[in-house]
Structures are given as structure tokens and as C-alpha cells.
Amino acid sequence: MAVKSMAVKSAGAVDLAAAPRAEATGHTAAPAFRLRDLVLEYREGTQVVRPIDGVDLEVPQGEFTCILGPSGHGKSTLLRCLAGLIAPAGGTVEAAGEQVSGPGADRGMVFQQDAIPMWLRVEDNVAFGPRMRGVPPREYRERVDRLITEVGLDDRRRAWPRQLSGGMRKRVAIAAVFANDPDVLLMDEPFSALDFFTRSRLQNLLLQLWAETGKTICFVTHDIDEALVLADRIVVVKDGGIAMDVPVAFPRPRGEELRALPEAQDLRRELLDILGEG
Amino acid sequence: MTAAVPARARWSAWFWRAVGVAVLLTVWQLIALAVYNLAVLPAPIDVVENLVRNFGGSAGLAYLGLSETSYLGNLRYTAGIVLTAWLVGSALGLSGVVAARLQWVRDLTDPVLYVFGVVPVVVAAPFALIWFGFGPVGQWILVAFFSYVTVAVASLAAALRLAPRYEEYAATLGVAMAARLRTVVLPAVAPATSSAVRVALGAAWSLQVVAELFGSETGVGRVIAVRAKTGDVPSVMAVIIVLGLVALVCDLAVARLAKRSGAWQ
């Protein structure tokens, strides 16, 4: 009960104790995202579906936000809107104070299904973003090499993606997005198809890269445990709106001991109740 | 050990191909001996002898009024039109990728692709030659146009099949649309498109020879037409075989390039 009263608060009042601080990472004061009365629609045959209807949300810079929700309730649609891949039917979306009008290098995205170019070898995949944007190689070569090492693919640099396991391909995708040095990472259930151990390893890798870079991360998942391990804040998207917006201030690193923490158990139960309602 | 297996397989493949050719030549020779009539079925050696005799120059072709009087010259003419028209037509056919992404380009090209794409070549060829003439220009346009249609239909279909997430991913990395077409869509559709390019090349040889049969003054098709009229079967077979060999070499070269473009698969 104590957790509930602490947890549900407005977006602006989120506790960022566990997040890389904005001032420490050199970010400006403008939030990474500001959503005002956001409405998202898409057509399904002759019907217009409105998965997001009148959402207000602010995501501070440097925060690790998990967007949690049942399948088909608009969390991926919301993320695609933040990426600029779909335009709002109503309301506004701002990224770092600028109106979002389309996709851009400031908002990198890791997709649920493999989206890395299968016709590029690992090292070319990781360097793809900066190379295509015309960044001189001397400015990204070292970062690309370091990221390939950090994601543990040093010995697979010249491999084609088809020669890698699903977990390895996700590591390529994560390295590629970090190599492009965006302000924000948008991740759409990136680990949902992986086994438990691979998923745990990738969660740790992601947290390590996040701690090093202090980037803002918006991570869509339907897995409560994954959200509890990763997030500074959990936003539950359900029935077109935000059903819950809760800070997660448990100490990091969050291993198996998190399960034994009474506050974590309470929050887990509360999230389960909300997700299971209706 | 692992490297030895592919080498062995390669040698094995070549060995069986050679056996296939040897069997064909033997059967041909035996049938020719049985028939024993040069005007019906010459033996392989007769065809080779004809090829060697006429390759650099042929008094018979000069007498029959061809402007090119050697097999080589006529082959050069046919191959020149086929390869340049196929190359230009196929390159233009890659615009199917653009049509897949820009609706107005698709609206513009769809009627051409789908109307002419289904018209049989033997029906379209005479019309094209009437419009553009029976000379090299008409032939070149005919081959280029059908190469364009073949490759455009394939590249359009392959680009439409490509999952949007690859381009979306590139867009979120800041890659502009033109660069996405070049670095995402084109490489992704390359394997499917290169198959169509090979099909277009094969069709281009047939189409050009058919166009030459209709009334060209030069070319392999013309040689076949005039030699067939005089009942010179060894000449007809020699020209057909040498044309087939040139087409085979070209196809192998294109197949090699196609294999490289699909190495990632």
C-alpha cells in the first residue's frame, strides 16, 4: 500500500535517483519527450482504430523508461510515434523541445524483429548509421570498434547477420544504434523472442551501455520482471491512456535479490493487478 | 579437410558436365552416321569444320548479300545489340524499386509494365519492328524494352515484398530516402532482381535473333535465315551452336555477379 501511494504520481514528479543525471551527461533542461493530448490512429479495413487517445507524458533526459502494457493496447504504436515513424492524429510530440516531424538520427530505434541490414557484415552494420550520414570515419571508427568489443562480437566482425544467433543479431542492433550516438534510444520489445539467459545477458549489456553513455531510453515490454530490472520509471499504457506512471527507485544492480525485496513484490503485484484488470 | 570437400565437389560437377557433353556428341555422331545425309543431320565434325571455315569470312554469305560476310562479324553485331540493349533496359528496370516507394511513379509505369509484360514476344516483336524499323535501332529498342519490363516487374515486386522495418530502421539512423533506396532497398532486392536480369539476358538473345529473322540485313538470325533457305544445315547448326556458347558464357558471367550480390543470404 505504501508503494502504491509513492508510486502513482504525475510524470513531472518522477524520482530519478537511479538514472544518469541530466547535468552529469551534459544534456539540456528540455525533456527528452513531451507529449501533449496525443492521439494516434490507424486504419484496419474500413475501421479507424485509436490505440492512444489523449495522452500527456514527459520523459526527462537520461531516464530509463519502460512502457509496459498488454498486447494491442498501443505501446508499440506510441513508440513508433516517438520515433517519428507515424504522425499523430491529434496533439503534439516534442523531442528535446523540437516538434517531431519524422524519423531522425537523434532517436535511434531497436525493433522487435530483426531490422539490421542482412546484407552488411557485422562491422559494416555497426558503422552503418554514421557512415550513411557522412560522418568522417575518424570520428566514429574508434566508437564502432569499442562497441563491437563491448557487445562481445570481436571475433564475428566479418560475419553476415545470418551466421549469427538471434541474441547476437540483437547485440549488433544495439551496438549499431549506440554507434550512431542518438540522444534517445527507442526499443520495441527487443528481447521478447530470446531465451531467459540471453535476455538477462542483453539486459545487463544494455544497462552497462546506458550507464556509460547516459542516454535516454524508452523501452517497450510486456514483461513486468524485465521492466522492474531495467526501469527508472514504468509507464503502463492501457485502453488508450496511461493507466499508471510509477518510479522504480530500487538500488542497482538489480539481480535475483530484487525478487526478495518486499517493495518490489508489492509493485509487481500492483502492476499485475492493473495489467490484468478489465 | 573442410576446404578439400568443396574443391572435390567442384571437380565432380565439371567431370559430370564433361561426361554429359561427351554423351551428347557421341549420340549425335551415331545418329548422323545412321542418317548419313548432310542435308538432314550433319555429324559434329562437319559442323566444326563449317564453323572453322566460315568464322573469319564466308564467300557464301557475301554471295547471299549479307553486309557482314563472316560468322564473327554477324555474331559481333547480334551480341553488340543484345548486350548494350539488355544492359540499358535492365538498368532502367531497376526503377521498379522507385515505383515501389513512390505511388505516382507506380501509377505512371504500371500500365506499361502490365500491358506489355503479358504480351507474348512473338506478337509484340513485329509491331515494334514496324514502328521502329527493321534495322539496328528497332531491334535495340525491342530488346531494351523487354529487358526493362522483365527487370522492372521483378524489382517492383521484390521491393513491395520487403518488410518496411528495414527502411524504418535506416530512417531512425538518419539515412535519407534516396540513400535508403540505394543502401537498403536495392541490396535487399538484388538477389530476386538478379534472377530477372539473367532471365532478361536469355530472352534478349532469342528476341534479337527473332528480330533479325524478320528482315535484318545483318546478324546471326539473318545468317540462319539465308542458310536455312539454301538447305545448308551444317551452317545453321554451326551458327546456332556458337551463338549458344556465347550466350552461355555471358550467362555464367552474370550468374557470377548475381552470386556475389546474394552472398549474404
Q: How far is CA B19 from CA B16, B43, B146, B244, B248, in A?
A: 5, 19, 36, 19, 18
Q: Do B169 and A160 touch (CB under 8 A)?
A: no
pLDDT of A21 higher than 50:
no
CB distance B82 to B208 below 8 Å: yes
The model's pLDDT over B188-238, given as tens digits with 9 standing for 90+, comes to 999 999 999 999 999 999 999 988 988 788 999 989 988 888 888 989 999
pLDDT for A107 equals 96
Residue B102 burial by Cβ neighbours in a 10 Å radius (0-12, 13-18, 19+): middle
- How many Cβ atoms from other residues are within 10 Å of residue B44's Cβ? 15
Distance CA B221, CA B206 (A): 9
Nearest CA in chain B to A186: B172
Distance CA B53, CA B139 (A): 29
Q: Does A271 touch chain B if contact means CB atoms closer than 8 Å?
A: no
Specify the DSSP class assigned to residue A34: E
H or E element at residue A45: none
Phi, psi of A254 (to 5 degrees): -105, 100
Q: Do A118 and B168 touch (CB under 8 A)?
A: no
ipTM of the shown complex: 0.85
Residues in chain A: 278
Residues of chain B contacting residue A116, judged by C-beta atoms under 8 Å apart: 169
Range B224-228, long-range pairs (CB < 8 A, 24+ positions): B226/B61, B226/B64, B226/B65, B226/B66, B227/B60
The model's pLDDT over A189-208, given as tens digits with 9 standing for 90+, comes to 999 888 888 888 889 989 99
What percent of chain B is modeled with pLDDT above 90?
53
Q: Which amino acid is at A138?
A: R
- Could you report how far apart the first and last alpha carbons of chain A are, in Å? 21
What are the helix (H) ranges across B36-70?
Answer: 44-54, 59-63
Q: How far is CA A24 from CA A21, A164, A181, in A?
A: 5, 36, 17
Residue A92, classed as helix, strand or coil, is strand
Residues of chain B contacting residue A108, judged by C-beta atoms under 8 Å apart: 172-173
- Which is more confident, B160 or A21? B160
pLDDT for A38 equals 96
pLDDT for B116 equals 75
The model's pLDDT over A157-174, given as tens digits with 9 standing for 90+, comes to 999 999 999 999 999 999
Q: Average of pLDDT values for A251-264? A: 85
Of B169, B174, B184, the CB nearest to A111: B169
Residue A130, classed as helix, strand or coil, is helix
pLDDT band at A9 (very low <50, low <70, confident <90, very high): very low
User: Which residue(s) pair with A34 in the sheet?
Assistant: A58, A94
pLDDT band at A2 (very low <50, low <70, confident <90, very high): very low
Among A204, A153, A209, which residue's Cα sits nearest to residue A180? A209
Q: Which of A7-11, B139-143, B162-166, B242-246 has the lowest mean pLDDT?
A: A7-11
pLDDT of A8 higher than 80:
no
Q: Average of pLDDT values for B240-253? A: 94
Nearest CA in chain A to B264: A119
CB distance B223 to B66 below 8 Å: yes
* B 148-177 → A contacts, CB under 8 A: 163, 165-166, 168-175
